[in-house]
Amino acid sequence: MENIIKDIDIISAQEAQACDYKTTEDENTGKSKKLYIESYGCQMNFSDSEIVASIMKDNGFDTTSDFEQADVIFLNTCSIREKAETTVRKRLSQFNAIKKHKPEMTIGVLGCMAERLKEKLLEEEQIVDVVVGPDAYRDLPNLVATAEEGNKGVNTFLSREETYADISPVRLNSNGVSAFISIMRGCDNMCSFCVVPFTRGRERSRDPHSIVKEAQELFDKGFKEVTLLGQNVDSYKWSPEENNKARLNKKDDASEIVNFANLLEMVALIDPKLRVRFSTSHPKDITDEVLYTMKKYDNICKYIHLPVQSGNSRVLELMNRTYDREWYIERVSKIREILGEECGISSDMIAGFCTETEEEHQDTLSIMDIVRYDFSYMFYYSERPGTLAAKKFKDDIPLDIKKRRLNEIIDKQNKLSDERNKMDIGKIQEILIEGESKRSTEQLKGRNTANKVVIIDKGNFQKGDYVTVRITDCTPATLFGEVVS
């Protein structure tokens, strides 16, 4: 899936883990207790933290940015790579010193790492009081109360129905412009390298009318952009009959089936000034119907995150990705045909998967040249316990070879990003301002439809403004523009 919004989007595995990190901000509404949350990993985790904050807010908690002032500390964790779990363990060791001086503080581990390790985490990390999986957040107030009484609280039950559709998330670290909306949970794809099906459970789609309602409320509050989130948004499918839920404000019609293309259109129709993005797409499921829906509505951003993972068909089969090189290239060709060359495409890539040969690594480099990605999230293979790959294959590529192959992928992506960005020079584009540039308070940053960062002089503009600009220069990671009157 896409990382935290930042000026530089070309990142290595180590940098990705370093910047995939958010904490709560201060909110003082007079509640008696303080909650501090650190979130690691993907956008789904950040979205989940907003759900957690809402649940805790309804149970007497304000949020704080100072963990030393907190009554409860939650770490919302990621298990996708070993480094993510190592980072959390180091953080817990740092909290240990605080816990010694403030023993009444409750520390909880949430999310994928909690689901993967379950009760074992309580044994390994003595200061942890609460362990909660992604489908059990409604139980957090009870578990915290249990911990306050001196007992450990654990709930790692994986649900077939939970979507948190009725919870209005507390927007943490919000810029007031962009927001995430979770449209589905879990994953039915059993990619051999991935822990997500084991930590987030089976796939289930959220009621589309609750999604539209949330998007409408965000727009009414001044938000200009929503990102529809799911492990595999293209497999979104909802019907009253299958989901056993009554539709909102609709006549009873059990035959209604809403797929992802339908949902995209429903959200796009809220208002032409509400931008719509989505993540992540799976190459086996993205349909022409979705692409034509994107083409139909100007406010559906022309950007697709389409992870390839490897450019070699044999490796893709070992990864259980259920498509081959030719299928992926055909899907990209259809994207270019329907949405044009300017549609942004990004990817995830894994270097050094089990048994990958040098020739197969070259296939990954060559598919990058064919697709010409705008940017990518690039990693070397990290074996995860419990996955199909860990059970079936030997992690037999030496670390130095993995790192060398990863560096070649990163170098290739830097070159492609530079070439793709240079194509934008001289073009007129509309950007949505997200805030000040990190490098200068006299400049603003926004994003164009292809999800590229554009820097402009501040002038009289402010975040939330749509601005028409001419692209004048670029780096491999950033575009620079001047305002067009």
Mean pLDDT (whole number) for 220-234 = 96
Is 474 annotated to bind a ligand? Reply is no
Is 19 annotated to bind a ligand? Reply is no
Quote the pLDDT of residue 97: 85
Confidence of residue 14 (pLDDT cuts 50, 70, 90): very low
Verdict on whether the full-model pTM lies above 0.75: yes
Task: Give the DSSP per-residue string, 183-241.
Answer: -EE------TT--HHHHH-S-EEPPHHHHHHHHHHHHHTT--EEEEE-TTGGG-EE-HH
Lowest mean pLDDT of 10-14, 160-164, 166-170, 174-178, name the range: 10-14
Per residue in 62-75, pLDDT (tens digit) is 999 999 999 999 99
Distance CA 330, CA 336 (A): 10
Distance CA 26, CA 166 (A): 25
User: 38: which residues sit within 8 A by CB, 6+ positions away?
Assistant: 21, 22, 23, 67, 73, 74, 75, 76, 91
Lowest mean pLDDT of 20-24, 200-204, 241-245, 348-352, name the range: 241-245
CB 381 within 8 A of CB 310: no
User: 402: which residues sit within 8 A by CB, 6+ positions away?
Assistant: 351, 352, 380, 381
Q: How many CB atoms sit inside 10 A of residue 461's CB?
A: 16
Per residue in 258-317, pLDDT (tens digit) is 999 999 999 999 999 999 999 999 999 999 999 999 999 999 999 999 999 999 999 999
Beta bridge partners of 309: 349
Mean pLDDT (whole number) for 19-28 = 66
φ and ψ of 483, to 5 deg: -70, 135
Quote the pLDDT of residue 172: 82
Helix (H, G, I), strand (E, B) or coil at 449: coil
Per residue in 77-114, pLDDT (tens digit) is 988 888 888 899 999 999 988 888 899 999 999 999 99
Tokens of 444: 């603003």
pLDDT reading at 465 higher than 80: yes
The distance of Cα 244 from the centroid of its chain, to the nearest Å, equals 28
> Domains in the chain and their CATH numbers?
13-155 (3.40.50.12160), 178-422 (3.80.30.20), 428-483 (2.40.50.140)
Tokens of 391: 């059970």
Is 301 annotated to bind a ligand? Reply is no
Parallel, antiparallel or unpaired: strands 72-77 and 61-63 = unpaired
